Structure 1
Amino acid sequence: MISQCRNIIFAIAFFFFVYLSFVESQPFDYPTANLSTTWINSVSASHSVSFTDNSTIRAILLRGSFGPRYACGFFCNGTCDAYLFAVFIVQTNRFPQVVWSANRNTPVKVNATLQLTAAGDLVLRDADGTTAWSTNTANMSVQGLNLTELGNLILFDSNNSVVWQSFDHPTDVLVPGQILVSGKNLTASSSPTNWTDGGLFSLSMTNKGLVASVQSDPPQVYYQRLFSGTKQNTELSYAKFRNGSLDLYINSIEASEPDLSIAIPAANSAQFIKFGSDGHLRVFEWGSPWREVADLLTGFLGLCNYPMVCGTYGVCSNGQCSCPRSGFNEVYFSPRDNRRPDLGCFEVNALTTTCSSNINASENHGFLDLENVNYFEFVTDISNTNMDTCKEACLRNCSCRAAIFQYGFNSSSGNCYLPSRVFSLMNNNGAVRNLFSSVSLKVQIPPTVTPPAVGTVPPTDSKGKNSSLGLILGSILGVLFVAVVVGTAFFVYRKRRKSNEDEEDYLDLVPGMPTRFCYEELEIATGNFTKKLGEGGFGSVFEGSLKDGTKIAVKTLDGVGHIKKSFLAEVESIGSIHHVNLVRLIGFCADKSHRLLVYEYVVNGSLEKWIYYGRQEKCLDWKTRRKIILDIAKGLAYLHEDCRQKIIHLDIKPQNILLDENFNAKLADFGLSKLIDRDQSQVVTTMRGTPGYLAPEWLSAVITEKVDVYSFGVVVLEIACGRKIFEQSKPEEERPLLSAFKKKAEEGQWLDLVENYDCDDNDEEIVEMMKIGALCVQNDYVKRPAMSMVIKVLEGSVKDVDIKDIDYNNFLTPRNMINDMSENGSRDVTPLLPSVLSGPR
């Protein structure tokens, strides 16, 4: 309640200072300023507003007042010990977004001044009077300053011609209508929270196209979108951000069609493109607050082609990071943080600076060889060579940090690249690309003790005793120890390999199993796993197509110790059941260390995108919503009552309910499922699932299929009301849906809960559906109906839902199950088995 009041006060304050500015002329719009105007970054400034994300703005110019609008002025975030002079998008009192800044590398403090001088120069001075930034436009006939509707800050002359504009000096953001001309670039910040200096990444427009690179000497390119034609005009090439695309004009100029175009989702509100500190180029749109709507480079690059996806020297494999593997005797690289493998690896022994063109003179330098590992960039430094020559060249090159060798199938000859700095590496499957690669990392080899020559008299101590005896005995013991370690490791490896082979053989013997794919087939089908549909704690889901054109969703299960048991259970149980309201398992892959599940592709995605008022892609009428509820009930009834073993889903929620092209609902994500024999009435298990959808009996850890009935009841109420189980934006007592439902149901004001989603509503049927939901969320699981009974009610064979005996005090979810939910929805209580991603999300 307090936060709501604070938000209201901030909103009133924002509009109030705008109104006071130009109340006599343009009370809600003051986009221009005249010469000889000075602004002070003062805590007492009349146009100062603090926001709910702990940022502060002191507005100088404002273009408009309602909805997301552009403003410019002083901006700070966090502790506000440093300020930018910036252009930003602001929406009432929430989450301003900087789209341009003048002094990102030289922030100023409180009491800094911005002056539009009489000579026409726009100058930013810090509190101590030092100049932090200037347009350097003195005596260039400047008449005033203007903030355009596109967010472009302009100094104009008496003819209204542009003398200077912020669009010519981009930082890390493009806004609609802005162009990035050849020779200009976007430079990412060093981190998402640090905008006071430039980062590693640069996005540049060249006379051939768009190039993204990581800053090293020389720069290393990780993305290129180039046009191969010959430039015909004298104008600079440029990229232009339009509604729906980022257009590249290389040879052509407007109004002709662009030479290349990168698609962007059409804007429903304010948008901007931001070049992030991780090298991604993302599109954000206002959606209370800003939300990502596209990642423009990933569709071409995939997960592992970003230079710092796994930090320096880290190896990326399907989005998972690790350090280069060393032998038993020496470890060359270790994680910077064991809990954050994405932060990269450091050299255990740093390379010495001693270097010479003579190979033997390079002090203890050697190589750690990594097979089938690739690098995001390859520049041919030496062509038509072999691997040994490539490595020798690296040893002679003092700045070389790796010898990267690429070669074709059945060929020892290839090309060599000698980078001076190593960022993230990636596993490579040469059989798919028909191009093989090895990376040899230059490492520092610790000096070894040279044994004495034959016939040399061993040294003695002061008492004449042989001091080498202890060294010899120590060496023998060391060799024995290494032999034991190697033997044990080999035994474990053979045992694990045999276990994996037994598992694969076992899967082939299970009757009625779905199609088995090899890993290479699925790599090809998914375009090397480039288009991600979703991800979870143990893997990701990717879109793909089989050779016959069948669209699929492939779930990868990544590196978990107990993955085998979970994988076997899922393939066996889900592969043998078929129902129109369950996502169909088409096949699987058990190929060495790879574990993947192949599901049918469900085109309209998850239910959560369609049912919440103000958030859905398209308004679903009541007939469609009612049909979805019936489909969910039929899918659950099949799992509970019609399978050989009773299957409890354990995580029914909108995210795990998918909609096909005709909006038929299909249950997905059986990774949490529990099989129960027909002669069992209940089962003991650990708490699983999602807060808000968990039945109260989870606290006792003794469950039946009625936990699914409870979750189904919650989903029914969400669909009927058009709102989430927990809404942060609501008054405190109405944030949990079940709390609000209890109050309104007792008052008989059922329809007060229904959000106005502007569809073809049927009040009487909606109330009846709420009553069904109420029956399903009763505290006593014995009183909840079976799903087969719910179907009879929905289909009309059982009339008039009786709710007289419902005690509304006893069907609310326990407080400890919902107190950690946020505005963005619920989260899993516990990480579960690798199959948490059964089916696309």
Structure 2
Amino acid sequence: MASSGAPPFSSALVLPCLFAIAMAALQSAVVLADAADTVADDRPLSGSQRPLVSNRGRFALGFFQPENSQHWYLGIWYNQISKHTAVWVANRGYPISNPDTSQLTISTDGNMVLFDHSRTAIWSTNISKIASSSTVGVILDSGNLVLADASNTSIVLWQSFDHFGNTWLPGGKLGRNKLAGMSTRLVAWKARNDPALGVFSLELDPNGTSQYLLEWNSTQQYWTSGNWTGRIFTGVPEMTPTGSYPNSMYTFDYVVSGEKGSESYFVYALKDDSVLTRFVLGETGQIQFLTWMDGANDWMLFWSQPKVQCDVYSLCGPFSVCTENALTSCSCLRGFSEQNVGEWLQGDHTSGCRRNVELQCSRNGSAMGRTDGFYTMANVRLPSNAESMVATGTDQCEQACLRNCSCTAYSYNGSCSLWHGDLINLQDVSVIGSQDSTVLIRLAASELSGHELKHTKKLITIAIVATSVVLLMIAVLVVILRRRILKETTRVEGSLISFTYHDLKSVAKNFSEKLGGGAFGSVFRGSLPDTTMVAVKKLEGFRQGEKQFRAEVSTIGNIQHVNLIRLLGFCSEKSRRLLVYEYMPNGSLDKHLFGCNQHVLSWNARYQIALGIARGLHYLHENCRDCIIHCDIKPENILLDDSFVPRVADFGLAKLMGRDISRVLTTARGTVGYIAPEWIAGTAVTAKADVFSYGMTLLEIVSGRRNVEQRGDGAVDLLPLRAASMLGGGGGGRELIGAVVDGRLDGDADMDEVERACRVACWCIQDDEDARPAMATVVQVLEGLVEIGDSPVPRSLQLLADQSNYLQFYSDLLPSNEASLGLGR
């Protein structure tokens, strides 16, 4: 064989060469693997490259484009789900036009920096004096982007978990470090396709309390979590086992650490890391808890606050109206157009609306503004920032607004309210079947119809004549019909009649037909001149002055809900205080549950009554301007209309009676069995006291008998204890739970609903008020929207099960002359 001229290789040299080549390839592969989740000075990331992916593939870091957007951003998103979901964005306010020529890299000072196409730094970790000579950026499986020492990546110099966007992931600390002067908070996107900083934020209270606040523009608070109790936040009852959180999936804690409690934060973690979950502050101002569902191929909402979208402050901006459950929640008022059409098309309504035609008053400086007028908008919930004005009627209220160039709207509902400047937080409640107040929006004359303009122009010129005519008519009517009709002959819808005592004696036939009585007074049947049946309540032991009484009654009179008794009028003369309510033909609930009525309430009727009571209490606790605590929930205070729809009665008496109510309640027959433990302990009473009373009442609705009964052998039978034992520690099943149901129903009851009602009741009567659900949660459970687990057996019930303990308990609670109350209701 001819020689090639090259020296032959021996087999001894071949194996070492192959080994060296293999090792080099392996080292190269390791470097490439390390680079898959890492950015370094020699391995930058640009839009032309694949995104960096965390070690187990859960998260990706790269350039992305929001849906329907022309801009590009550097961000982090979930890598293993079909729906692109960004959890963090670096350049929120500085979008990129060309990602291919933009670059994320490590700068010469060790910081991680994002350069645009012109090599301008548009984002940086911005750490001063980095000690390490070499740093890298790494995307972790937690979704956290860290800047770390290249030789030891456990040394973290900066992390995205300290700089949240709109998303809070498990493991992230949402709170404040006083020593470092640093806080973490969520800030919503400006719009669905614009991650720029929005106006809504969530942060730990800067004043040092343990509550979290949702705020608009960092100035206006519109929701709070309530303070941390050691187990839950008081304003988030869903955190208890009765709530809507998927509790088996995660753990959570509020931590205070460091010198003198310098660091405070809330943190949560998943028990199963295969589950994807996140808290998000949406661009519409609601904080939402979401979990990815593979079956639905989408994010599912488990919890949100505020529950009512329109409760978000200035969601729709000035001169716009918010409509709950509408396809488009925000719309401009008549005479106004979108301030920024582009933002509205993207779903950002916070800029609000502007006038189509400027007001005449503001153009010529005239204080009278005679060519301005008003558009009437009915069934709205009014903004809270009103100025009260003394006025005797609608016309006088309207003139007061016209005389001030800054006045933009007014409302008259027995009292005059004026709004100046931007009109914010107006809500249309007509679509949810609610009837609230009427507001009149000030517009330029050209924006009004001929009828509206004519009405406004005539106001000033005919005011004196009209007033004189009205006064003359009233005088004639009073003289002719003085003994037959009321002091005020007509009542504007939604306002209260101010009766004289003489009028009510006539209406109630000299108080001859007594319907019932209680701790606050007696109730009598009556009839107005138009034959409308009413119930007249004479308040006893009342000490408020007339001015304060009228103010409180006016507030209560404006509260309307299908499950709350409606107040029609009142009387306040000298020491006499009377209230006039709508008449309920089917009387109080206790007569149907415990009386000798031949008609037995069906299970469906009972369940709807229980649900209606819960909705009424939820409205009092959360939907009134100020939380109203009833303080005396029991079947005697639940009235039924002709269709057996429940109406919570006497809900305003707690507000009217003030602090004296505790003395009244503890000496009232038929009330003691419903009082929450905190009443007896003398601690501050919250809305959870009503929850306890509701739980006791709910068990009586299910069973058709009193919660406390004395058996033939003298022992005390506590129905709540039996129900709690069946569902809680004692076990039982549906056979035992079915034994709680009223025997007069002959088993004709939906056992799913029975079990649900009993579970709700047992959670409501817990000794610890923090363990009781809010009425909003009770409504959700009874509606079948939320599932709840077993409750512990309240210790107080176990102690009271002993006859001697029970009698001693009430002997200590009541004055000696009433200690015999015991079981005698």
Task: Give the shorter-chain TM-score range.
Answer: 0.3 to 0.5
Task: Select the structure that is richer in helix.
Answer: 2
Using structure 1 for the length normalisation, give the TM-score. Answer: 0.41
Rg (Cα) greater in structure: 2
